[in-house]
């Protein structure tokens, strides 16, 4: 397949097996196909000399690609997928490591270690799964909706497992007396703990706020934040954990959905506003 034909299909969002095979061998066309063909569309609309059908002005095209690659996000997005996943996973759990080393929960010695190890292990695995799903390969066929929905439900369920378990040890009166202040404190700490994951994973994503990638980003960040709170917060009341720890997943998923919805509306409204 010639580059001109590949670019024409990219603009038409027709990425069949022949196009994907060409993208694996042509870096210029692969860059055009990234972000669901956003760069190809932008170049085609902004410069009449850059056309998909007749070859276009490759100097302008390569210049635009080079400019994109020189940014921090461009460099991160150009990393191999395995490296992107590793960096994203590290960003997701970094706050948990900081908390367990320097701000460990006060009941650490009283907390059952087998339970701690089980929760930590399940969160680490779930975070890794969420990161992989949030950073899909450009050339990989789109996963079936049933698979994505199943993984979404699985990760959301994992976030709520600790809240469904009985208290790890006896709930102290101090914990009960400070129920609502404790909720606000953990929600705030959880949000802070999620910031590195949200920022880094978003910079590593090659797509342009696609719904499923953004939802899996939200879930992986929420589980990573929950892990950080698991290392720090000594409250074992299941209701506190359900609202202030596991509840982060619901908050982030709703926020992610709203962000994608607003971005999509803005994208569709922009041409009408320019007429």
Closest CA to 235 of 155, 133, 151, 162: 162
Q: What are the phi and psi torsion angles at 142 (to 5°)?
A: -60, 130
Whether residues 210 and 129 share a domain: the answer is yes
Closest CA to 162 of 123, 136, 189: 123
Task: Dig out the tokens for 215 from the structure.
Answer: 């939802």
Task: Provide the residue range defining the domain that includes 185.
Answer: 74-266
Q: Flag whether 47 is in a domain.
A: yes
The answer to whether the CB of 3 falls within 8 A of the CB of 58 is: no
Range 187-200 average pLDDT: 91
Show which of 70, 105, 126 is a domain's final residue. 70
Residue-wise pLDDT for 24-80, tens only, equals: 777 677 777 776 666 656 655 544 444 444 444 555 555 555 555 557 777 787 788
Whether residues 171 and 250 share a domain: the answer is yes
Task: Dig out the tokens for 214 from the structure.
Answer: 């953004």
Show which of 45, 70, 95 is a domain's final residue. 70
Residue-wise pLDDT for 205-224, tens only, equals: 877 678 899 999 999 999 99
Whether residues 180 and 149 share a domain: the answer is yes
Show which of 48, 70, 92 is a domain's final residue. 70
Whether residues 252 and 127 share a domain: the answer is yes
Count of domains forming the chain: 2
Q: Flag whether 275 is in a domain.
A: no
Note the pTM of the prediction, 2 decimals. 0.71
Whether residues 152 and 262 share a domain: the answer is yes
How confident is the model at residue 169, as a pLDDT?
80
Cα dihedral angle (213, 43, 73, 26), rounded to 10 degrees? 80
Residue-wise pLDDT for 86-144, tens only, equals: 999 999 999 999 988 888 888 888 899 999 999 999 999 999 999 999 988 766 667 78
Whether residues 60 and 140 share a domain: the answer is no
């Amino acid at each position: 397949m010639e580059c001109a034909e590949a670019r024409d299909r990219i603009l038409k969002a027709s990425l069949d097996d022949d196009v994907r095979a060409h993208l694996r061998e042509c870096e210029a066309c692969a860059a055009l196909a990234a972000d669901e063909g956003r760069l190809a569309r932008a170049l085609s609309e902004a410069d009449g000399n850059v056309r998909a059908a007749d070859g276009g002005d490759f100097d302008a095209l390569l210049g635009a690609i080079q400019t994109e690659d020189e940014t921090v996000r461009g460099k991160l997005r150009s990393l191999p997928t395995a490296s992107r996943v590793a960096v994203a996973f590290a960003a997701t759990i970094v706050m948990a490591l900081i908390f367990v080393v320097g701000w460990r929960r006060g009941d650490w010695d009283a907390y059952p270690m087998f339970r701690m190890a089980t929760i930590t292990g399940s969160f680490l695995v779930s975070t890794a799964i969420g990161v992989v799903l949030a950073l899909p390969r450009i050339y990989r066929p789109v996963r079936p909706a049933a698979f994505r929905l199943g993984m979404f439900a699985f990760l959301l369920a994992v976030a709520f497992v600790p809240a469904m378990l009985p208290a790890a040890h006896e709930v102290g009166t101090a914990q009960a007396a400070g129920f609502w202040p404790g909720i606000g404190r953990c929600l705030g700490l959880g949000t802070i703990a999620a910031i590195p994951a949200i920022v880094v994973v978003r910079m590593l994503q090659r797509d342009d706020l696609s719904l499923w990638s953004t939802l899996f980003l939200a879930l992986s960040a929420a589980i990573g934040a929950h892990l950080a709170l698991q290392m720090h917060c000594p409250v074992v009341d299941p209701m506190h954990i359900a609202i202030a720890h596991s509840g982060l997943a619901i908050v982030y998923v709703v926020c992610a959905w709203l962000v994608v919805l607003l971005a999509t509306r803005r994208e569709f409204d922009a041409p009408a506003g320019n007429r």
